[in-house]
Protein backbone atom coordinates (compact mmCIF):
# COMPACT_ATOMS: atom_id res chain seq x y z
CA UNK A 1 0.00 0.00 0.00
CA UNK A 2 1.09 3.52 -0.77
CA UNK A 3 0.02 6.75 0.89
CA UNK A 4 -0.74 10.09 -0.67
CA UNK A 5 -1.09 13.38 1.16
CA UNK A 6 -2.63 16.29 -0.71
CA UNK A 7 -2.42 19.83 0.65
CA UNK A 8 -5.44 21.81 -0.47
CA UNK A 9 -6.41 25.42 -0.28
CA UNK A 10 -8.37 26.06 2.94
CA UNK A 11 -11.70 24.25 3.04
CA UNK A 12 -14.69 26.44 3.75
CA UNK A 13 -17.42 24.03 4.80
CA UNK A 14 -17.77 20.65 6.52
CA UNK A 15 -19.71 19.27 3.55
CA UNK A 16 -16.42 19.43 1.61
CA UNK A 17 -15.23 16.54 3.76
CA UNK A 18 -18.12 14.29 2.75
CA UNK A 19 -17.76 15.21 -0.91
CA UNK A 20 -14.03 14.44 -1.11
CA UNK A 21 -14.00 11.38 1.16
CA UNK A 22 -17.04 9.92 -0.57
CA UNK A 23 -15.55 10.26 -4.03
CA UNK A 24 -12.17 8.84 -3.05
CA UNK A 25 -13.49 5.96 -0.95
CA UNK A 26 -15.65 4.82 -3.88
CA UNK A 27 -12.60 4.50 -6.15
CA UNK A 28 -11.26 1.02 -6.83
CA UNK A 29 -7.87 0.68 -5.17
CA UNK A 30 -8.39 3.32 -2.48
CA UNK A 31 -8.38 1.60 0.90
CA UNK A 32 -9.02 4.62 3.10
CA UNK A 33 -9.34 8.35 2.52
CA UNK A 34 -9.63 10.99 5.22
CA UNK A 35 -9.92 14.76 5.03
CA UNK A 36 -8.45 16.84 7.82
CA UNK A 37 -10.66 19.93 7.64
CA UNK A 38 -8.63 22.36 9.75
CA UNK A 39 -5.34 21.65 7.99
CA UNK A 40 -6.77 21.26 4.48
CA UNK A 41 -5.09 17.89 4.00
CA UNK A 42 -6.36 14.78 2.30
CA UNK A 43 -4.71 11.49 3.25
CA UNK A 44 -5.38 8.27 1.39
CA UNK A 45 -3.98 4.76 1.31
CA UNK A 46 -4.13 3.11 -2.08
CA UNK A 47 -3.01 0.03 -3.98
CA UNK A 48 -0.63 1.24 -6.68
CA UNK A 49 -1.45 -1.86 -8.75
CA UNK A 50 -5.07 -0.73 -9.04
CA UNK A 51 -4.89 3.06 -9.13
CA UNK A 52 -2.29 5.75 -9.70
CA UNK A 53 -1.66 8.65 -7.34
CA UNK A 54 -2.37 10.98 -10.27
CA UNK A 55 -5.89 9.58 -10.56
CA UNK A 56 -6.56 10.38 -6.92
CA UNK A 57 -5.25 13.93 -7.38
CA UNK A 58 -7.31 14.39 -10.56
CA UNK A 59 -10.45 13.32 -8.74
CA UNK A 60 -9.90 15.93 -6.02
CA UNK A 61 -9.21 18.72 -8.51
CA UNK A 62 -12.16 17.57 -10.61
CA UNK A 63 -14.38 18.14 -7.58
CA UNK A 64 -13.21 21.76 -7.55
CA UNK A 65 -10.50 21.66 -4.89
CA UNK A 66 -7.12 22.99 -6.06
CA UNK A 67 -4.07 21.09 -4.81
CA UNK A 68 -1.17 23.16 -3.49
CA UNK A 69 1.21 20.22 -3.09
CA UNK A 70 1.24 16.45 -2.87
CA UNK A 71 3.47 13.74 -1.45
CA UNK A 72 3.39 10.04 -2.20
CA UNK A 73 5.17 7.53 0.00
Ramachandran region of residue 14, left (φ > 0), alpha (ψ -120 to 50) or beta?
alpha
The CATH number of the domain holding residue 43 is 3.30.70.100
Please tell me whether residue 48 adopts helix, strand or coil conformation: coil
Answer yes or no: is pLDDT of 4 > 90.
yes
Answer yes or no: is pLDDT of 61 > 90: yes
Q: How many structural domains comprise the chain? A: 1
Q: What domain range includes position 31?
A: 2-72
- Give CA–CA dist 5/3, Å, rounded: 7
What average pLDDT score do residues 43-50 get? 98
Query: Residues 57-72: what's their mean pLDDT?
Result: 97
Write down the pLDDT at residue 19. Answer: 96
> Is 90 exceeded by the pLDDT of residue 9?
no
Amino acid sequence: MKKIVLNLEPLTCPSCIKKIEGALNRMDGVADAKVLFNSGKVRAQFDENQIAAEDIAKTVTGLGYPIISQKVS
